Structure 1
Amino acid sequence: MIELQQVSKRYPTRQGWRTVLDRIDLSLAPGRNVGILGRNGAGKSTLIRLLAGAEQPSAGHIHRGMSVSWPLAFGGAFQGHLTGLDNLRFICRVYNVDWQPLLPFIEEFTELGAYLREPVGRYSMGMMTRLAFALSMAIEFDCFLIDEAMVVGDKRFHDRCHHELFHKRRDRAFILVSHDENVIRLYCERACVLHQGRLHSFDSVDEAYRFYQQAVPGSPALAA
């Protein structure tokens, strides 16, 4: 079980402290999923970083009763002077996983070829994202954190990512943040809306979108 209890996050600005998340509650059982809707700047990526442990809440408590991935396709933790292979070894050491059995999958999935043995600092954004996503799939987690920014690369690579995540790992829990109705409808059994710092929970995606339409000016119409 993952549980957020009265979690808040605020940041200092020149105009004073800004509260991005305000006393939010959320729970997710193993094997279940939830979509988080919200306009750009609503705090969706902040929520994902808190869940991943990349940042700490300003108040409240986060309980992780199952293993949680880093945000999928996030390459911000890579060491630029190390090769892709060295980064694989380093991350596997952090998670106490043997890297050698994972290498064939990483080589095949990323299609980086000889660049896997070149410094990551020389990678394009697309190459780095391929490596980050492949590592996310190679190291198994109970719950995956999915940011809407994960969709990169050509259609073939995009389709492979979706097959790995939503089909081969359909028994895992996941939290998906997006403002795309089609993505939430397709993959999520329920949804929440992040609006003005508060998280509003609903039993269905349709209910969440009706609230989203009313609360957020300019939000897309709900498809039939």
Structure 2
Amino acid sequence: MLRLHNLHKTFRLNGRSVTVAKSINQTLPSGVSIGLLGNNGAGKSTLLKMIAGTETPTYGRIISTGSISYPVGFAGSFHPDLTGAQNARFVARVYGVDTHELEAFVEDFAELGDHFRLPFRTYSSGMRSRLAFGVSMAIPFDTYLVDEVTSVGDAAFQSKSKAVFKERMQKSGAIVVSHSMPMIKELCEAGAVLQDGYFYFYAEIGKAIEHYSYTTKNQLPPWLRR
């Protein structure tokens, strides 16, 4: 169970206030893959970071009865001067899993070649996402936070990423951010839309995608209009 309790987040940008979460109250079901949709700048990645604990809300809190991953694709969790292998081992120790097993899994999965033993600061954005996704999938979390990362790499790598993700979803839940509706349909059962700081949850992903189609026109769907 993951509960957002009176969750509020406001930024100060160029002398003005921007609110991406307006006192959200929502309980998200366990063991369900949820697609998080919204326009660019809606606050999706910020919400993932708040759920992970790497971003502080203005007020409110997040209550969870299980373990939550860091946001996959978020490079801030790795030290720039450590190699990919060293970063993987460090994360393994933090979460109490076998360092050698995790390192072996990530080296095979991420397909970084010799770069796996070079400093993280030398990685491209795609390589960083591969490392982050591999490390996250190697650890048994109750809820995985995924931010666009399954779209990284060629078709073969994307297929492998989806297969590993679906395998993890047999025992876990997830919150997935992506602008690819085919991918969201494939990976997610339920959905949520973040629009103007408000959080709309739908038990069926199709309804969330329908709502999202109206946000691209800066509109609310008909069932929410007064």
What 5-or-longer segments of structure 1 have no aligned partner?
220-224
Aligned length: 219
Rate the CA distance shift 1:117–1:177 in 2: closer, same or farther, 3 A. closer
Whole-angstrom CA distance in 2 between matches of 1:16 and 1:49 = 22
- Deviation, 1:116, is 2.0
For 1:153, the equivalent position in structure 2 comes to: 153
For 2:57, the equivalent position in structure 1 comes to: 57
Deviations 1:72-131 (A, max 9, x none): 233222111111121122212221222012222122112223322221122222222221
Instruction: Give the counterpart letter for 1:44 in structure 2.
Output: K
Deviations 1:135-176 (A, max 9, x none): 111111111011125421111111111110113433310111
Whole-angstrom CA distance in 2 between matches of 1:218 and 1:47 = 20
* 1:107 and 2:102 correspond: no
* 1:186 and 2:182 correspond: no
For 1:79, the equivalent position in structure 2 comes to: 79
- Deviation, 1:30, is 2.5
Give the match's secondary structure for 1:88: helix
For 1:163, the equivalent position in structure 2 comes to: 163
What 5-or-longer segments of structure 2 have no aligned partner?
220-226
Could you say what the CA RMSD is over the residues aligned between the two structures, in angstroms?
Answer: 2.0
Whole-angstrom CA distance in 2 between matches of 1:108 and 1:30 = 30
Whole-angstrom CA distance in 2 between matches of 1:187 and 1:193 = 16
User: Contact conserved, 2:92 with 2:102, CA < 8 A, in 1?
Assistant: no
Give the match's secondary structure for 1:35: strand
Stretch of structure 1 that moved more, 96-105 or 60-69: 96-105
Instruction: Give the counterpart letter for 2:103 in structure 1.
Output: L
Whole-angstrom CA distance in 2 between matches of 1:65 and 1:37 = 24
Q: What is the TM-score of this pair, normalised by structure 2? A: 0.88
Whole-angstrom CA distance in 2 between matches of 1:68 and 1:156 = 28
